[in-house]
Chain A
Amino acid sequence: GIQVEQSPPDLILQEGANSTLRCNFSDSVNNLQWFHQNPWGQLINLFYIPSGTKQNGRLSATTVATERYSLLYISSSQTTDSGVYFCAVETGTYKYIFGTGTRLKVLA
């Protein structure tokens, strides 16, 4: 089955710094989403981005489907950005395959 790898696994930043999270996948995908898991466990939608580039405030994402990767950019990070970021992909089988996540900690 498809493999989803996220890097880095852990990231510690000073408030105000920028970061790039990467998601590599091993096969063609129909769908790709980025999520932020809050401390209570809920997955918060960041981007639905099977291809192309999107921006939402300080966050932006790019998916290059032909090269099988997606990037999540966080600019001017804040302590509230801390948490785990997941990439999830779907190949038309009605299920998402999740990466192992990037754990981000932003220090004040």
Chain B
Amino acid sequence: KAGVTQTPRYLIKTRGQQVTLSCSPISGHRSVSWYQQTPGQGLQFLFEYFSETQRNKGNFPGRFSGRQFSNSRSEMNVSTLELGDSALYLCASRAALNTEAFFGQGTRLTVV
């Protein structure tokens, strides 16, 4: 059974650009959530989608957005990149609420 797949694994962008990250959940999982990990703030929740609906959003500026497609794959977008957006972005999938979450390998974004 394939795990959670995130692409790309590494990314270097320039300030002001935008970026799109992709997450393919485990087959059959309909919930996808995104987290940002930085040395200063730790692991912080960005948003969660279930059947194409955003059910919760973390405390991030509007430059951070996401969506989920009918096949449960999810994308997150960050516009007008800032140096502080440099982080490891992790995606998790699970079948439903109150079930185990599984994480992908992450996308390491560097903004220069």
A42 contacts the other chain (CB 8 A): yes
Q: CB distance A94 to B105 under 8 Å?
A: no
A93 contacts the other chain (CB 8 A): yes
Q: CB distance A41 to B97 under 8 Å?
A: no
With a cutoff of 8 Å between Cβ atoms, the chain B residues found around residue A45 in the complex are: 100-103
**Number of chain B residues close to chain A: CB under 8 A:** 27
Q: CB distance A42 to B106 under 8 Å?
A: yes
Q: CB distance A98 to B97 under 8 Å?
A: no
Q: CB distance B33 to A95 under 8 Å?
A: yes
**Number of chain A residues close to chain B: CB under 8 A:** 22
With a cutoff of 8 Å between Cβ atoms, the chain A residues found around residue B44 in the complex are: 98
- Determine the residue in chain A with the shortest Cβ distance to B55: A94
Q: CB distance A43 to B90 under 8 Å?
A: yes
A33-B100, A40-B105, A45-B100 are contacts. A98–B43 as well, Cβ < 8 Å? Answer: yes
Q: CB distance A41 to B43 under 8 Å?
A: no
A100 contacts the other chain (CB 8 A): yes
Given contacts A30-B97, A41-B37, 12 further A-B contacts (CB under 8 A): A41-B105, A42-B104, A43-B92, A45-B100, A92-B97, A94-B48, A94-B97, A95-B33, A95-B45, A95-B56, A96-B92, A98-B35
B-binding residues in A (CB < 8 A): 30-31, 33, 35, 40-43, 45, 48, 50, 86, 88, 92-98, 100-101
